[in-house]
Structure 1
Amino acid sequence: MSTKTLVQQLSQPYAEALLDIAKKAGNVDAIAEDVNLVLQVLAESSSVIEFLKNPLVSIPSKKETVRKLFAGQLNNELLIFILLLIDRKRISYVSDILNRYLEFVYALESCVIADVTTPIQFTEKQKKELIKKLEHMTGKKNVELNISLDSSLIAGFTVQIGSKIIDTSLKGQLKEIGYFLGASNK
């Protein structure tokens, strides 16, 4: 079993639990906004992630740091949920769990998240064109792009929606040609 599959299996039940909590509280959208805030903080500060993942840091220290970091900024349900992840020693999966939660929320709203990997930043026009094409392909009315940069791609980009991958990169095309010619896939 790959590490990615294991992470998905671990994150799924926690994300579902958070969605259940949010539905019961009637705060699905508000918690989604707070989830985006937490993900933004984690994306901008690798030191916070390293601190939370460090097994040598005590659970009370991690909980106190999270409380101080997000004091007055998060829904109480989300804050308690993150503290629970610390208690259960699942805090290292917090980004995966929260991203999975957003996928569930977007699915509820008939929205799909497309993970786009590109060697260069897209212009607004390129983003709009890609969204329009993906809306047509998926039949969804709302497509959100989650763009990440990868300088190892040579021209083009990749798009992943769920388990489907669209690879328009030159690197991907060369791999495909190599596969058909019987070359090793490395």
Structure 2
Amino acid sequence: MSLFQNDADFKMDVLREVGNIGAGNAATAMSRLLNKPVDMAVPTVSLLPFEEISERVGGSEAIVVAIFLRVDGDAPGNMFFIISKDSARRILQGLLSFEAGEEDEYTEMELSALCEIGNILAGSYLSSLGDLTGLYMSPSVPSIAVDMAGAILSYGLLQFGTMGDDALLIDTTFLEGNQEAEGHFFLIPDPESFEKLFRSLGVPVE
């Protein structure tokens, strides 16, 4: 977290702007895809150590739905969109109009739909970050898994190699009438990528 010892408030304001623009772009993209209004609350943005990710999604043994992908380009890293089983079911029923199914089981179509939601979010947040920084960042084809949070993160480490120490967390809330479905979006830049991002934004890193 050494990059955040100086001008921490300013740097977090920059990252919050990335979250706000990305959420707006994601809502617009999903509205077009689904041909219906999609509302998203203003996201909360924070920074946390990689090892605390599991605790933010209910603990390492919590069963979650996770969409994960690799970011290639000028500031490489890894991305995870993690949602609880309850939130996954709310998204499927409220946002995507799927009929109620088994809470612990998902059809191939349901998993595909959730994966596409994660893909849209990833693309929207990366696009907003790329527009603000001028850096090229390209997402890989996303994968989806239903497993314990700790196992998913461990698999990500094996799949993508060493992760950076810090994770940018964007808490995303979908609104459907009086129903809410929460998701946790994590961007984990590779070591040195945060510095590249801030330098491209004109933010001092010393």
Report which structure shows greater RCO (CA 8 Å, sep ≥6). 2
Q: Which has the larger radius of gyration?
A: 1
TM score, norm. by length of structure 2: 0.26
Q: Which has the higher strand share?
A: 2
Q: Which has the higher helix share?
A: 1
TM score, norm. by length of structure 1: 0.28
